[in-house]
Structure 1
Amino acid sequence: MNFDEAKKLYEKHGINVDEVLESLSKVKISLHCWQGDDVRGFLNRDQELTGGISVTGNYPGAARTAEELRQDLDKALSMIPGTHKVNLHAIYADTEEKVSWDKLEPKHYTPWVKWAKEKGLGLDFNPTCFSHDLSADGFTLSHADNDIRKFWVEHCKASRKIGAYFGEELGQPCVTNVWIPDGFKDIPVDRLAPRVRLKESLDEIFAEELNPAHNLDAVESKVFGIGSEAYVVGSHEFYMGYAVQKQKLLCLDAGHFHPTEVISNKLSSVSMFTPGILLHVSRPIRWDSDHVVIMDDELMDIARELERHNLYSTTHIGLDFFDASINRIAAWVIGARNTIKAILRAKLEPVELLKKVELEKDYTTRLALVEEFKSYPFGAIWDHYCEKMGVPVREEWLNQVKTYEKDVLLKR
């Protein structure tokens, strides 16, 4: 079915496809830089990955320098419709200077800002509280040693200022997200004291008011990780309470909950009590294994919740996975395109009609329409959108990735 025929089908239900595509073009996805080099960064590339982070695979072509990483991101973004953002961790500083992580400054990221300006991109940021000698025992902001804890507090303070620099320079807010790996492998006696220390650390980190037009603070929980199977200091309950009390963004990562728990069902509730939400769209298998995002039921449900409750203005969408068993650029493209496809599908549903029949208790019509729209020809709309935005249609992008792999990646 071609675009015009598909458009008429949707218009029968009052869906203005042109308006849908216009609104879709304004949705920004934040591509996580760490997919491109297996979370190594450039500040200390020889440091072993810690904090429960493990990257599987050794596919050729991982970026070795910031310049190579930007080149790879350019290639990925050329195949993803829309204008988006890139999410950096602190370890991706682009500098020849040997700098302690608690002394990082905006100047260490100026090449990233120059590049983002040239490309019309936004930047997001994260302090890196792992893969460092002072995080080797699994604790950072909740550490019992005040000197070590102070180091990580200063690192996070520096990260917020870098985020604010990004936002001011690029004219759009930078979301600076705090995640820490702190926890115990086996059952602790004192669950409270580390959380008290974490709260004190966060209070100190966020004490300085920054312009929200430049920087937005977020906090991220986890249910468990390798080395913290029994207890994680920064649990969902801890950070949800903190985000509500301090009015910070709450980061919901699709892989950071129990295996039968989903984040889509949390969005409406969290949106009522926090100033916004940061999504880390990922795909857990068995545990927080950060697989490439596919268009599965949970991704669709996340997109539907965003659309049905009009949460785009207060929700920041980022990807978070790292797979070194396949072409890393393809992983970005697959994940980002699937996320945008899911949002498009959600926008092509007759939301107001569905809400109306639900209010009228006509649950038969509600179920029937929801199911029928699953097979409506959104693919024709998607193909038209890709063509309109100047990116490859359907799997044509894969040929470009294969050519880039041959010409660039395999020569590294």
Structure 2
Amino acid sequence: MANEIIKKAYEVAKEQYAALGIDTDKVIEKMKDVVISLHCWQTDDVGGFETPDAELGGGGIQTTGNYPGKAGSIAEMRQDLDKAMSLLPGKQRLNLHAIYGDFAGEFVERNEIEVKHFQGWIDWAKERGMGLDFNATFFSHPKSDDGFSLSSKNEEHRQFWVEHLKRCRAIGAEMGKQLGTPCVHNTWVHDGSKDTPIDRNGYREILKKSLDEAFSVEYPKEHLKDAVESKLFGIGAESMTVGSHDFYLGYAIKNNKLICLDNGHFHPTEQVGDKISACLNFVDEVLLHVTRPVRWDSDHVVTLNEDIQLIASEIVRNEFLNRVNIGLDFFDASINRIGAYVTGTRAAQKAFMIAMLEPTATLVEYEEEGKNFERLALLEELKTKPFGAVWDYYCMQEGVPVSEAYIADIQQYEKDVLSKR
């Protein structure tokens, strides 16, 4: 698309939004505050580098598809991440799982990992001026094959996982310290029961005990932020998940932790967008894992749908951007993986731009005056405003492909790089 056409379309859009009291230039500037943490596991289907040719499963982790070009090494993963980020406007972070360390071809047990195994990632991020986030990895391991890790009644196994979490927090704190931006460390365990358990409370008491032990070391907030993530159920844990939303929300409030809200981890009729303001009345910050749950937690590539829009709108309307940490969490191996990154991230970014182009003050005024027809009508009319022209201009300003132009770029990368793996 020629730059002159983009500029002309933007000027028309600018006038239309100005009539609603919206300054599109300021919106584009405000988009700098939307920083999204890319999940590294989209590049290799949650494989990791703990063992050669790792194929992980269990704990609700299931990647479908076998599209060619999967990253098989740290070098290939970084190459793919660089490519994806080159096609995205704005600034991104990278979210790592503990199984993605540089173990130099040696097997390192999870309760023995150290900062040195992730120093290469820290250096890589520093070169790009970006931050890192981190996750302990509790799934796909012999010591959690029975469905329990931090809530295990096997004391040897429980201590193993507590030590793993302690080390991951230390690694995350060092990431934040070296990079000058806080690392968000997220704790999610797949612990639960396939069939009806009797001692639900016993497992939850153990989980609380383990978390208390693992979080006993305090790190500066400018280096590390701790988050805990709930889930409704998982594969093999259909009857009871120890770390439910009620459990973790209570833990986060009591212990001043971030609550992680994954919009695939709730009943299909629940909306995470509705939970954000509820949680932020009681916790300082939240972490988002943004995905698309076609059938519950199926982790499809994010698209610009109503659920994603509500999440973005609630954050922008309430000026919560400085209290919400935005991360993605999907893994699709049925399509080009870099294409999945770019499409999903752009969809999330578009939702935030649309939210910023909303005349919120007018809508609130209608609402408080009981003008519900006017509120509904304006929301409907906003749907056909020329948002796309503002988005295209933003991409042009950022020096990344405009509109669908990134498709051809990814196709060429697949031909030149992915097809040769």
Bucket of the pairwise TM-score, normalised by the shorter protein: over 0.9
Task: Pick from 14, 29, 33 the counterpart of residue 7 of structure 1.
Answer: 14
Q: What secondary structure does 2:143 align onto?
A: helix
The corresponding residue for 2:406 is 397
1:160 aligns to 2:169 (yes or no): yes
Task: Pick from 223, 227, 243 the counterpart of residue 218 of structure 1.
Answer: 227
The corresponding residue for 1:23 is 30
User: 2-side partners of 1:150 and 1:213: how far apart?
Assistant: 28
1:82 aligns to 2:111 (yes or no): no
Root-mean-square deviation (CA), in Å? Answer: 1.0
1:411 aligns to 2:420 (yes or no): yes
Cα distance, 1:46 vs structure 2: 3.5
User: 2-side partners of 1:267 and 1:46: how far apart?
Assistant: 36
Cα distance, 1:287 vs structure 2: 2.0
User: 1-side partners of 2:177 and 2:383: how far apart?
Assistant: 42
Identical aligned pairs, as a percentage?
53
Task: Pick from 42, 46, 52 the counterpart of residue 49 of structure 2.
Answer: 42
The corresponding residue for 2:367 is 358
The corresponding residue for 1:238 is 247
User: 2-side partners of 1:219 and 1:18: how far apart?
Assistant: 37
1:188 aligns to 2:197 (yes or no): yes
User: 2-side partners of 1:305 and 1:146: how far apart?
Assistant: 43
The corresponding residue for 1:294 is 303
User: 2-side partners of 1:287 and 1:304: how far apart?
Assistant: 22
Mapping for residues 50-65 of structure 1, pairs under 5 Å: 50-65=58-73
Q: Is the 8 A contact 2:256 2:283 kept in 1?
A: yes
User: 1-side partners of 2:389 and 2:96: how far apart?
Assistant: 34
Mapping for residues 81-230 of structure 1, pairs under 5 Å: 81-96=89-104, 97-230=106-239
Cα distance, 1:98 vs structure 2: 2.9
User: 2-side partners of 1:60 and 1:47: how far apart?
Assistant: 15
Task: Pick from 63, 71, 81 the counterpart of residue 73 of structure 1.
Answer: 81
Q: Is the 8 A contact 2:98 2:168 kept in 1?
A: yes
Task: Pick from 325, 335, 349 the counterpart of residue 334 of structure 2.
Answer: 325
Q: Is the 8 A contact 1:47 1:131 kept in 2?
A: no
Question: Aligned partner of 1:62: which letter?
Answer: K
Cα distance, 1:106 vs structure 2: 1.0
Cα distance, 1:285 vs structure 2: 1.6
Question: Aligned partner of 1:352: which letter?
Answer: A
In the alignment of these two chains, the number of paired residues is 412
Cα distance, 1:47 vs structure 2: 5.5
Q: What secondary structure does 1:285 align onto?
A: coil
Cα distance, 1:209 vs structure 2: 0.7
1:334 aligns to 2:322 (yes or no): no
1:348 aligns to 2:341 (yes or no): no
Question: Aligned partner of 1:380: which letter?
Answer: A
User: 1-side partners of 2:268 and 2:375: how far apart?
Assistant: 29
Question: Aligned partner of 2:24: which letter?
Answer: V
- Flag structure 1 segments of 5+ consecutive residues without an equivalent: none
User: 2-side partners of 1:323 and 1:237: how far apart?
Assistant: 29
User: 1-side partners of 2:320 and 2:221: how far apart?
Assistant: 18
Cα distance, 1:48 vs structure 2: 4.1
Deviation per CA, 1:9-65: give whole Å up to 9, x if none. Answer: 111121111111111022100000000000010012445422121110000000001
- Of the structure 1 ranges 344-353 and 37-46, higher mean CA displacement relative to structure 2 is found in 37-46
Question: Aligned partner of 1:66: which letter?
Answer: I
Structure 1 segments, 4+ long, off by >6 Å, are: none
Q: Is the 8 A contact 1:47 1:132 kept in 2?
A: no
